[in-house]
Amino acid sequence: MVRTVSIGGVAAAVLVLANCAGPADSAPGAEETGVGGEAACAAPMALFAPLEVAPGDTVTVTLEGMSDDCYDTGEHGAGPPGEPEPIADVMVATLVGVDDGAELASVDVSLGEGNTGHADLVIPEGAPAGAYTAIVTPEPAVLDVPSILTVTAD
């Protein structure tokens, strides 16, 4: 008995099983979100709690991921073992007006595990009411400040 085998069908099955048939379509936006092998490092971030304070109140300033190193793209190899190096062991977070960039107050933030740290900052008496954001020194390559701190009138 002679069996006939279709070479084309076998070759196609082998290519699919070996994942050689080409990349599968990725989800829309996968390139931008880090899904599918793209970079997924989060930008260094500054956060406030609470988001609304009055002069004399205390706001907690949290700095997260304060490193400019990102090794998950493979561009620079696997990177050293452990966490990426922090930008500095202690960073200065300064509240600045959203509209005018005027400095309101600063606080030193010591970084620990995950290149993250937090510190309490007392809003000065007589601080002008308005919206404030943060700048950080030494300055990271990118800083994400996802929320605005609102200082209310006395």
Let me know if residue 144 belongs to a domain: yes
Take residue 135 and report the two structure tokens written for it: 């700048």
Let me know if residue 48 belongs to a domain: yes
Residues 31-85: tens digit of each pLDDT: 333 334 444 566 789 999 999 999 999 999 999 988 877 655 555 455 555 567 7
Let me know if residue 29 belongs to a domain: no
Let me know if residue 137 belongs to a domain: yes
Q: Total structural domains in the chain?
A: 1
Take residue 138 and report the two structure tokens written for it: 């030494």
| Mean pLDDT across the chain | 75
Name which of 53, 57, 55, 42 is nearest 116 in CA terms: 42
Q: How far apart are the C-alpha atoms of 30 and 10, rounded to whole Å?
A: 32
Let me know if residue 27 belongs to a domain: no
Q: How far apart are the C-alpha atoms of 45 and 64, rounded to whole Å?
A: 5
Query: pTM of the entire structure?
Result: 0.66
Let me know if residue 33 belongs to a domain: no
Residues 2-22: tens digit of each pLDDT: 444 434 443 333 333 333 333
Residue 80, domain CATH: 2.60.40.1930
Give the structural domain span for 57.
42-151
In this structure, are residues 133 and 149 in contact, taking their beta carbons and an 8 Å threshold? Answer: yes
